[in-house]
Chains A and B, each alone.
Chain A
């Protein structure tokens, strides 16, 4: 009789409610080992239908689920499907949401878990997403894939080279920086035949970055030395990020 009632509840109730009901009813202590085996079998059958996944914090799981629609995530996954960085980029987008809420303790925990799993490169990728460099890198990867038909392996190598080196090859323009200072830094990269470098700016510093590029362009410094550049403003970061990728044109061939 008890087993019949359990089977009826298993049909009527969704799995979480069925489990709750089973605990509250205390029936498991009344049906013996064979009865328990039967109930376990019922639970396995319902769970295998795949209607529920159980997490310690379901809101976190739902927020991460929504991030699948984030343009950075979708584009990176299109360019490098299956790459370990895809999940880190999604996690980084989640960290940005937590930072906006001021949940610094959770951010610290998540970064520690990323370090345990992906070591320093995982943290570098998170930082790259947070500071906007990732937008420039993604734009570059899109160009390499769609216009220059790079293979998956070449895209992966290119991404991992940039990931390892982005701190050295990125000029972060600060509000207090003079145009001359940034221009000198950019010219040093070009004179050193650096194959790729990035210029990033936010807020008032955007005008400085733009005027540097205009001057270098006017002076033919970029084209004459065999470089091309692409610049855009991303509104996906707060505040919006102006980014410019400067590439040796021979490198893109």
Chain B
């Protein structure tokens, strides 16, 4: 799996494809539930600028080195023989 950065518009397009959007204050919203997305990992609402977008169905993380580490441990390390 490759890691990439997306421009603002591309990131919004990917989010909208999965029924998410960004509200006027820059928070990710779940359009089906019409509510802001909460991260159980960081115990915060997820800001657009800080959102990491993980496959396969879209998983949105509140990106910090700790949440990336969790993602890597759960999804990547074993693929690379470091699990």
Contacts and interface: CB of A to CB of B under 8 A. Distances in A.
A49 B2 CA distance: 12
Contact of B4 (A22, A39, A54): A54
Contact of A44 (B17, B68, B69): B17
| B contact residues, range | 35 or more
A58 B52 CA distance: 10
A117 B63 CA distance: 12
Given A53-B53, A56-B52, A113-B65, A65 B41 contact: no
Interface in B53-83: 53-58, 63-66, 68-73, 76-77, 80, 82-83
B4 A47 contact: no
Contacts of A94: 65
Interface residues of A, number: 45
Interface string B34-62: 00000001111000011111111110000
Given A68-B82, A69-B82, A53 B63 contact: no
A52 B16 contact: no
A117 B73 CA distance: 17
Given A52-B4, A91-B66, A47 B56 contact: yes
A164 interface: no
Nearest to A57: B5
A90 interface: yes
A48 B9 CA distance: 20
Which of A54, A86, A95, A117 neighbours the largest number of chain B CB atoms within 10 Å of its CB? A54
B6 interface: yes
A100 interface: no
B3 A52 contact: yes
Nearest to A55: B52
Interface string A15-31: 01001101100001000
Given A110-B64, A113-B65, A19 B13 contact: yes
Contact of A43 (B2, B3, B13): B13
Contacts of A57: 5, 63
Given A68-B77, A91-B69, A117-B43, A53 B64 contact: no
Interface in B1-30: 1-7, 9-11, 13-14, 16-18
B51 to A, nearest CB: 8
B72 A47 contact: no
Interface string A69-94: 10000100100000000111011001
Contact of A64 (B5, B54, B69, B83): B69
Contacts of A49: 55-56
A16 B6 contact: yes
B14 A43 contact: yes
B40 to A, nearest CB: 10
A20 to B, nearest CB: 6
A116 interface: yes
Contacts of A51: 1-2, 55
Interface of B: 1-7, 9-11, 13-14, 16-18, 41-44, 49-58, 63-66, 68-73, 76-77, 80, 82-83
